[in-house]
Structure 1
Amino acid sequence: MNIQPYLIPLAAVQFEEEIKKSTFITYLAHTPSIEDAKAFVDSIKQKHSDARHNCWGFVAGRPQDSMKWGFSDDGEPSGTAGKPILAQLAGSNVGEITAVVTRYYGGIQLGTGGLVKAYGGGVQQALKLLQTIEKKITIKLNLTLDYALVPLTQSIMAQFQAIEVEADYSEKVAFVIELECLQVEAFTQTIINKSGAKVIVAHNDNV
């Protein structure tokens, strides 16, 4: 499992341009899964059902995970739309992103080179407008401790920006916390050292 953080879109983006009387509208959106990506494509197709083409590409996971890539020329000549769209997305190092480029045909053919430039260029311009945030990869841990250790534990959780997901105050206190994967080792060492190994740390299986 790759635990390094990566960039994802902060908000949707739209870019429109006219090339030889054809209108190209590029949409970018945050799509955390392949299902989300396909749903976004469908929503744009419905919005522009009167357009000649709604071509698309998506990177539905980590930027380098080509198992979650997809694209379509949607009736344009093979290789002139979907691949240039995907190439721009793959080169952006942004994950969980889908691009749909809607084309309203203006009566002048662009040729294969012109189409590649139009579809790829639209996504390139839209990416310049895109704001991104860093997605941190997190994991859940179970903590078991005595009541006296709650203040210490909560202080260390705050130090490592761990989030309390669940808390069970029974005979002992049981916390389920969510923490960035890169911090797990340091967090575990700190809490064991400061509590004299009285806080039990275990991985949560319900991830």
Structure 2
Amino acid sequence: MPADTYRTVAGRASAGFEVRGSEFVGHVSPAETVEAAEAFVAEVEREYDDATHNVPAYRVRADPLREYANDDGEPSGSAGKPALNVLQGEAVENVACVVTRYYGGTNLGYGGLVRAYSRATSEALEAARIVEERPHVRLSITVEYDDSGTVRGIIESSGNAFDAAYGERASFEVRVPIEEADELRDRLRSATSGRAEIE
């Protein structure tokens, strides 16, 4: 695997199962920033606010790599760390995970919890599909309407995902692999004689 690629998940997914009356549901999502990871954790906590525990773990490519896990009231080291260990073991990055547990009345013991939280994380990752990804950067491009057709054409021909908004001026948000970003900036500046504002 080239050094500039990394493993992450293709999209969001959940997977659930039951162990001795307790229900476990693993949820995973791609997350390119710590803020995105924390927003996903908060979203799952809101959606499953009736659960006994919502255990978060994430790994986000930053400088340095940010890793986080929390047991959310489970015995120390029995929930968040096992979930994070699975993310580490699969070498996935830019991934957030939350394992939801509905307590079923039977204590599973420390080892049982470790196995259940690990399994929920593994099964959610499997459901989400692990893919290889290249590091990306987001470009914000703002132009007058006269240049918007040209700019849109260049972005479309680059094959990168983008969002367009048309207000007083046209603006585009483009997600570009880091190694292609400079070339795209140059093409846009050259095609608009430097009129495109690129951040």
Alignment of 1:51-70 (within 5 A): 53-59=52-58, 61-62=60-61, 65-66=65-66, 69-70=68-69
1:38 aligns with 2:45: no
Q: Using the alignment, how far apart are the partners of 2:80 and 2:150 within structure 1? A: 54
Q: Using the alignment, how far apart are the partners of 2:12 and 2:40 within structure 1? A: 15
Q: Using the alignment, how far apart are the partners of 1:84 and 1:4 within structure 2? A: 25
Query: In the alignment, which residue of structure 2 is the partner of 1:165?
Result: 165
Counterpart of 1:157 in structure 2: which amino acid?
A: I
Q: Using the alignment, how far apart are the partners of 1:199 and 1:55 within structure 2? A: 50
Distance 1:166-1:61 versus aligned 2 partners, 3 A rule = farther
SS for the counterpart of 1:188 is helix
Query: In the alignment, which residue of structure 2 is the partner of 1:171?
Result: none
Gaps of 5+ in 2: none
Query: In the alignment, which residue of structure 1 is the partner of 2:138?
Result: 138
Distance 1:91-1:29 versus aligned 2 partners, 3 A rule = same
The correspondence for 1:186, drawn from 183, 186, 190, is: 183
Q: Using the alignment, how far apart are the partners of 2:24 and 2:80 within structure 1? A: 14
Give the aligned length. 183
Counterpart of 2:123 in structure 1: which amino acid?
A: Q
Q: Using the alignment, how far apart are the partners of 1:123 and 1:151 within structure 2? A: 45
Distance 1:150-1:29 versus aligned 2 partners, 3 A rule = closer
Alignment of 1:73-92 (within 5 A): 73-74=72-73, 76-92=74-90
* Offset at residue 153 of structure 1 (A): 4.0
Distance 1:153-1:79 versus aligned 2 partners, 3 A rule = closer
* Offset at residue 90 of structure 1 (A): 4.3
Distance 1:150-1:101 versus aligned 2 partners, 3 A rule = closer
Q: Using the alignment, how far apart are the partners of 1:41 and 1:151 within structure 2? A: 42
Q: Using the alignment, how far apart are the partners of 2:84 and 2:60 within structure 1? A: 13
Contact preservation (8 Å) 2:21, 2:103: yes
* TM-score under structure 1 length normalisation: 0.65
* Offset at residue 66 of structure 1 (A): 2.0
* TM-score under structure 2 length normalisation: 0.67
Query: In the alignment, which residue of structure 2 is the partner of 1:97?
Result: 96
Q: Using the alignment, how far apart are the partners of 1:43 and 1:166 within structure 2? A: 33
Distance 1:157-1:104 versus aligned 2 partners, 3 A rule = closer
* Offset at residue 43 of structure 1 (A): 3.0
Deviations 1:157-190 (A, max 9, x none): 321245433365xxxxx54322234343112322
Query: In the alignment, which residue of structure 2 is the partner of 1:15?
Result: 16
* Offset at residue 106 of structure 1 (A): 5.0
